[in-house]
Amino acid sequence: MPYPDRFYPVVDSIAWVKRLAALGVGTVQLRAKDLDDGAALQLVTDALDAVKGTSVRLIINDYWRAAIVAGAQHLHLGQEDLATADLHEIRAAGLTLGLSTHDDAELETALAARPDYIALGPIFPTTLKSMRFAPQGIPKITDWKQRVGSIPLVAIGGIKLEQAEEIFAAGADSIAVVSDVTQNPDPDARVRAWLDFVAETA
């Protein structure tokens, strides 16, 4: 299986992780904000327990120390966290590393860290968090894919299933999805539709 999977949901609770695992999702990112070290370690430990025995590759957002201690395998960092993280320690622990990028300077910083994938966003306007960066638009995906080469490129930010075909055609290897799942009136059906789509277009 490619890493990350072409459909890559990002959620904020263990309940969501369990729900997605039960639906057969292959890659899930757990992104919970503003936890202290103890709470982060508990969350990561519990989340790893929740996916034990499933095929889910659980990506921990930001809490790299907790990820190492708890024995996680996959990590995602934003640029602010990347600036303070110990990349040598992360790599020594055997963690894969995905990085967020929003502009040219951040892309250069990310490439220097030799990540396992690079995320570009927001592609479209997103209501989930206030963004310092304007929407990138689909043409930017093509440009950045040419620049990152063989490194998988993940598109994120306001993306719905109806736009997936165009985004993959532009060069994205994976699409990270938040509100199209978590704010959907029927999340399970939406997840199944995403999984069907990526299976048909693989």
**Which range of residues forms the domain containing residue 161?**
7-201
Q: How far apart are CA 191 and CA 188, in angstroms?
A: 5
Question: If you count them, how many residues does the chain have?
Answer: 202
Task: Supply the CATH number for residue 19's domain.
Answer: 3.20.20.70
Q: Give the model's confidence band at 97: pLDDT under 50 very low, under 70 low, under 90 confident, else very high.
A: very high
Question: What is the residue whose two structure tokens read 């490439």?
Answer: 111
User: How many independent structural domains does the chain possess?
Assistant: 1
Asked if the structure places residue 115 within a domain, the reply is yes
Residue 128: predicted pLDDT: 60
Taking only the tens place, the pLDDT of each residue in 26-60 is 999 999 999 999 999 999 999 999 999 999 999 99
Copy the structure tokens of residue 147.
């620049």
pTM recorded for the entire structure = 0.96
Run of H or E including 1: none
Asked if the structure places residue 151 within a domain, the reply is yes
Asked if the structure places residue 2 within a domain, the reply is no
Start-to-end C-alpha separation, the chain: 11
Taking only the tens place, the pLDDT of each residue in 108-119 is 999 999 999 999
Asked if the structure places residue 1 within a domain, the reply is no
Asked if the structure places residue 98 within a domain, the reply is yes
Residue 130: predicted pLDDT: 63
